[in-house]
Structure 1
Amino acid sequence: MLLVAAFALLQWGWSAARGTWVERLVVHEATVTSAAAFVRLLTPEIPAKAVGSSIKAPGGGLNILNGCEGTEVMFLLVAAFAAVRMPWRHRLAGLGLGIAVVFLINQARILALFYCHRADRQLFDTLHTAVLPAVLVALTAAYFYAVLHHAQRRMA
């Protein structure tokens, strides 16, 4: 029940933040600006730039809509750490690192979608709607399991 309640509370808070500086900070600044910088780093010949919630680039860009920023998976991770029994020190360390892990996995997902959108729209649709969301959740679950397993070994 704690997991469901924590997740619902976080989702409610996020929906209440829609259109505010909080959403702009998470979507525009953290997610889109970082993704555009990664594109420029990986492919300097593509002058990608962050414009609001979009990555703009000659040859095609990408819109980062609500749900694409990875917050739902982060909220699941936060709710899981809130519901599990483990010492606070392990919980906070695991959660802090986990949020960074989810952010980086989501950035990798956005980059894959950016390049795929430019090359193969049909593959983009498959990756966007089915494959990459499942990969994001599975990798996050694997991370949580690893932290939980490590904490249980340390407590034993």
Structure 2
Amino acid sequence: MSLLKVSDIGVRYSRLTAVRNVSFTLEEGEVLFITGPNGAGKSSLLRAIAGVTPPAGGRIDFAGRDITGLVPETIARLGLSMVPEGRDVFASLTIEENLMVGTGMHSGENGWRARAAAELETVYATFPILKERRHSQAGLLSGGNSRCW
């Protein structure tokens, strides 16, 4: 069973198509980087997966469950959330505090502190610059730095 399966997802803003028929499968332990120029639909795709923006079509499965169209809070409680970027970060919080916001969704689960610490270490291993700057205010990051997480 795939951890995340995105099938033919589309995102539209009125008449503008931001994402068209994107599909991929992500197995547990895999890392997927989504790159592209400004306006390519990267954030729109991630916002659809996290439930922030409703998809215009397609299906999203997480851990064997259809999460298409669920609200972000429900999706986050399942263990999938999106760390905001740019102007959407909590500017007065540190980088680490911003990263920890999503882990609070697991606070009712047994062992959530250990799980949150492990998730944070995974982020730091992937983006070492964030570990170096973890005590800095997130609002002071440049646009390029805030987009790396």
TM-score calculated relative to the size of structure 2: 0.28
More strand, by proportion: 2
* Bigger relative CO (Cα 8 Å, ≥ 6 apart): 1
TM-score calculated relative to the size of structure 1: 0.27
More helix, by proportion: 1
Instruction: Give 1 or 2 for the bigger CA radius of gyration.
Output: 1
